[in-house]
Structure 1
Amino acid sequence: MSTLTFQGAVKEVTGSRYLIEVDGNGRSWKLLLECGLHQGGVDADRANEVPFGKLVGELEAVVLSHGHLDHSGLLPKLVREGYRGPIHCTRGTRDLLEIMLQDAAFVMAKDIEWENKWRKRNAKPLLEPLYEIDDVEQTLSQCVSHPYGQPVHLPGGVTLVFRDAGHILGSAIVELTIPSGGQQKRLVFSGDLGNPSSVLMKEPEKVFDADLVLMESTYGDRDHRPLEETIEEFASVLEEAHADGGNVLIPAFAVGRTQEILYHLSVLYHQGRLRQQLVFLDSPMAIKVTELYHRARKALDPEDLKVLNKASSGDTAQYLPVLRMTRTVEESMAINRIRGGAIIIAGAGMCNGGRIVHHFRYNLEASATRLVIVGFQAGGTIGRQIVDGAERIRVLGQDLAVKARVHTIGGFSAHAGQSQLIGWAGAFRNHPRFFLVHGEPETQKVLQAALAESDIEAQIPGYGDRIEL
């Protein structure tokens, strides 16, 4: 019998990893589905440091649903430890990996450099990075990209097909047909399913046949607000900030969310509803991803592109004329001289580092500031502390009072909400087995109960659980 072992993103949102062992003809083949980074706190750092061990030499192939680091961020570590096999993904994912993994290696190197200065002064053992830029380059060289809908033959008689997940550029639902016990079993992994209401991406494809389904459950306990209401709330926050004379801080998720926020700012601008005359995109990675989205616009939703073209008369330079892209550290530092009237979109999305924390130093203690949270904040992150109501936070060695008004706007989420997850799950025929992954425990229990009301039985696996296909 072929088996699947849950090695990550179980009872947590990050760290996606699933080991598939294909049994046939007296030998077995090992495939890795996802190779994600754990995010959020000391425990996550420790989990990321655990060596892959002998698995490196046993793997035949890696399959990747999309480019977000919680699904792909440990690939260079796997390669650094010796893996030289193929990494199967879509073309959009391959292009995003080049940006995201290079950025991750750069940030890691800087963090290690600062930490090791302290350790050297205090006679502590020095740290090694999980991986370096050379490991990223080697990883990219091993990527093999495929279009949606094309069958790909993998070792052990496995067949892979990618379907559009509608989440970010290149995101995929993964279909694997796997020999097991003399039969062909179909495993479907949802990856991260997109929110049909969000802009730029196409709707997630429905899949109808499976024996076993791994389904994400990030927002399984709730639905997102309707997009129209979300945009009105966003516009209201911007108007209030302008009236109070404060800046607006938006922690940037570089892939997907930033591009969606820029889309809505563009529409508001051309409607005459954007009072701020300075919008800064202060994230080198988000800038590169935004440029990639522009180059890859044929893969985006044509109806949403029509709206942008109509708003700006087809001139891409006029999508958002008040936008300033700040690539250098000096340009970023200069923003802090602006005390009001600006919108600052800066990395990182969960506020655990990046340029957003520098802007916190100059803006978070001002009551006129608006902090707009537009994405999921994992447990253990500074963003989660703020969302949970922390009155003080510590960044860059400094305690800051949270006096800014905090607005959590969930309707911009690029993830499916509860109703959409149930609708996607309900399209399957013949009642496949469901396993909920990528969700916090309480959220998963709520979704599990909601699925049961639709006659869909779902299990919540634990780390290390091994099931037969």
Structure 2
Amino acid sequence: MDIRFLGGAGEVGRSAILVNDRLLLDYGMKSGNPPQFPGDVDPEAVVVSHGHLDHVGAIPSLLSGGARPPIHWTPPTRDLALTLARDTLKLHGGTMQCPFTETDVQRVTQVSKTHGYREPFEVAGHEVTFFDAGHIPGSAHVLISEGRSPSSNRTASDVDDRETRLLYTGDFHTDDQQLVSASTARPDADAVICESTYSDVEHDVRGEVEERFAESVERTLWEGGTVVVPAFAIGRTQEMMLVCDAYDIPCYVDGMGKRIAEMLMHHPGFVRDADALQQAKSHSRFVTGQDGQRKRIADQNAAIITTSGMLHGGPAMTYVPAIRGHPANKIAMTGYQVEGTPGRDLLETGSAEIDGRVMPVSAQVEQYDFSAHADRAGLESFLESYRDSRVLVNHGDRCGWFAEELRADGFDASAPDLGERVVLE
């Protein structure tokens, strides 16, 4: 089996892996100014692990020429990818920051093929099976086999010696979240392409993080303050809605996360508790953003869950300036802040560039680890099932370091470079 890393090697963003020059795994974009995209490719088919921008952001561009490769994904991933594509068109259509057109997005719907978990399907000369990755709704580990239908229950004696099985983890989590359950799938594989986003981090116990967050928000509300909760639209917004509902915290929800919450209600089988999500949705007040509504809400004694999670756009551009000047207010960051983003600057310096102006912030600023990725312990526990497999580390800022640590622990591990071709025997 021949594997070529077109993106996501030694970096977080623009994930893209080509298998046997025929089957493409993911095709994302790396946010920035300008954004970065994977190398050009003309696959027979595409298989997508999950619906985050760094894995699906460039998918429509694969259909901009004469090719029409089928795109295989879970139902939520399909809907999330289309939502992101249309949002990208709305924000950047007709510029270098958007590599596709509305016509290309329409073509995506025409070639889309959806599959559930543990339902093998044939594509581009391979057998593929999705397994729940526990990252966001619809996220999948992707098992690719050159031989017979994959199965997590087969023994080594059942497998043809000429068959090679590759497991692409995508992004995954080994702990339960409010929105989705932990990944427990460990299908047999000869080689594993493993994400390493948090390979140097140990997450705090999720329940304890939720309690600290809830206590802090409740204290601020009791003291008469307002809490702005910047959150990623896909996964994190809905997670924070569930946390607020569980602790009976009144909250508004603004930004794209509203649409995602509505959409996920159409895929109840891909969330941990569809009834709980419906309850959280009923508990939340969705913001329309019309007629100065946001400025009025910013003056209220409530929590406001809003995009963007790193403060580089979205309704947060209204809420943060409105509440920044009073120390009774609070900004509760819920996700990793990439270096160079306003969110990172705010955490490190107490000020941030919002809409072209550097603004000092007197409001309290806190950060909470609600990550949807496995940490170091989670990665190690997952990989323990693959001690006899080859491990290719990708999707991280310290891939080489983590691969070296794995080798010291007895693994056959390496971290391919961008553009590198790896042959599995």
TM-score between both structures, scaled by the size of structure 1: 0.81
1:358 aligned to 2:318? yes
Between the two proteins, the alignment pairs up a number of residues equal to 411
CA distance in 1 between counterparts of 2:5 and 2:280 reads: 44
| Post-superposition CA distance 1:288-327 (Å, at most 9, x none) | 21112223223322xx457x39xxxxxx5x6466521123
State which of 399, 420, 425 in structure 2 corresponds to 1:465. Answer: 420
What amino acid does structure 1 have at the position aligned with 2:391?
Answer: F
Shift of the 208–324 alpha-carbon distance from structure 1 to 2, 3 Å rule, reads closer
What amino acid does structure 2 have at the position aligned with 1:158?
Answer: H
CA distance in 2 between counterparts of 1:166 and 1:215 reads: 14
1:135 aligned to 2:104? yes
C-alpha contact (below 8 Å) 1:254/1:347 kept by paired residues: yes
Q: Greater helix percent: which structure?
A: 1
1:289 aligned to 2:260? yes
C-alpha contact (below 8 Å) 1:197/1:226 kept by paired residues: no
Tell me the secondary structure at the aligned position of residue 184 of structure 1. coil
C-alpha contact (below 8 Å) 2:75/2:267 kept by paired residues: no
| Post-superposition CA distance 1:388-442 (Å, at most 9, x none) | x0333222122211333221111x221112111111111126x11111111112x
CA distance in 2 between counterparts of 1:128 and 1:46 reads: 6
Shift, 1:128, TM fit: 7.2
Shift, 1:7, TM fit: 1.4
| Post-superposition CA distance 1:158-213 (Å, at most 9, x none) | 1111111111111100011137xx92211111011124231231321332422211
Q: Which residue of 1 aligns with 2:304?
A: 344
What amino acid does structure 1 have at the position aligned with 2:375?
Answer: G
State which of 322, 332, 341 in structure 2 corresponds to 1:381. Answer: 341
TM-score between both structures, scaled by the size of structure 2: 0.89
Tell me the secondary structure at the aligned position of residue 463 of structure 1. coil
CA distance in 1 between counterparts of 2:142 and 2:51 reads: 13
Shift, 1:228, TM fit: 2.1
C-alpha contact (below 8 Å) 2:166/2:191 kept by paired residues: yes
C-alpha contact (below 8 Å) 1:13/1:378 kept by paired residues: no
C-alpha contact (below 8 Å) 1:153/1:159 kept by paired residues: yes
1:426 aligned to 2:384? yes
1:167 aligned to 2:135? yes
What amino acid does structure 2 have at the position aligned with 1:103?
Answer: D
CA distance in 1 between counterparts of 2:375 and 2:110 reads: 36
Q: Which residue of 1 aligns with 2:270?
A: 299
1:102-121 correspondence runs (5 A) = 102-109=86-93
CA distance in 2 between counterparts of 1:415 and 1:248 reads: 25
C-alpha contact (below 8 Å) 1:38/1:47 kept by paired residues: yes
Q: Which residue of 2 aligns with 1:435?
A: 392
| Post-superposition CA distance 1:272-301 (Å, at most 9, x none) | xx3xx4x21111x21121112223223322
Q: Which residue of 1 aligns with 2:77?
A: 93
CA distance in 2 between counterparts of 1:195 and 1:384 reads: 26
CA distance in 2 between counterparts of 1:150 and 1:249 reads: 41
What amino acid does structure 2 have at the position aligned with 1:324?
Answer: R
Q: Which residue of 2 aligns with 1:33?
A: 25
CA distance in 1 between counterparts of 2:181 and 2:364 reads: 33
Shift, 1:385, TM fit: 2.6
| Post-superposition CA distance 1:104-142 (Å, at most 9, x none) | 221223xx6xxxxxxxxxxxxx75742233321211221
What amino acid does structure 1 have at the position aligned with 2:352?
Answer: I
Shift, 1:82, TM fit: 4.1
Shift, 1:100, TM fit: 2.4
CA distance in 2 between counterparts of 1:175 and 1:128 reads: 32
Shift, 1:447, TM fit: 3.7
In the alignment, structure 1 segments of 5+ residues that lack a partner are 22-28, 113-125, 310-315
Shift, 1:349, TM fit: 2.0
| Post-superposition CA distance 1:67-113 (Å, at most 9, x none) | 1111000011222244311011112211222322222221223xx6x
State which of 122, 131, 148 in structure 1 corresponds to 2:117. Answer: 148
Q: Which residue of 2 aligns with 1:47?
A: 36
CA distance in 2 between counterparts of 1:467 and 1:31 reads: 15
CA distance in 2 between counterparts of 1:452 and 1:402 reads: 45
Shift of the 211–320 alpha-carbon distance from structure 1 to 2, 3 Å rule, reads closer
Tell me the secondary structure at the aligned position of residue 330 of structure 1. coil
CA distance in 2 between counterparts of 1:368 and 1:83 reads: 57
Q: Which residue of 2 aligns with 1:5?
A: 4
C-alpha contact (below 8 Å) 1:195/1:414 kept by paired residues: no
1:77 aligned to 2:61? yes
Shift, 1:147, TM fit: 1.5
CA distance in 2 between counterparts of 1:128 and 1:408 reads: 30
Shift, 1:149, TM fit: 1.2
CA distance in 2 between counterparts of 1:402 and 1:452 reads: 45
Shift of the 147–319 alpha-carbon distance from structure 1 to 2, 3 Å rule, reads closer
1:325-336 correspondence runs (5 A) = 325-327=286-288, 329-330=289-290, 333-336=292-295
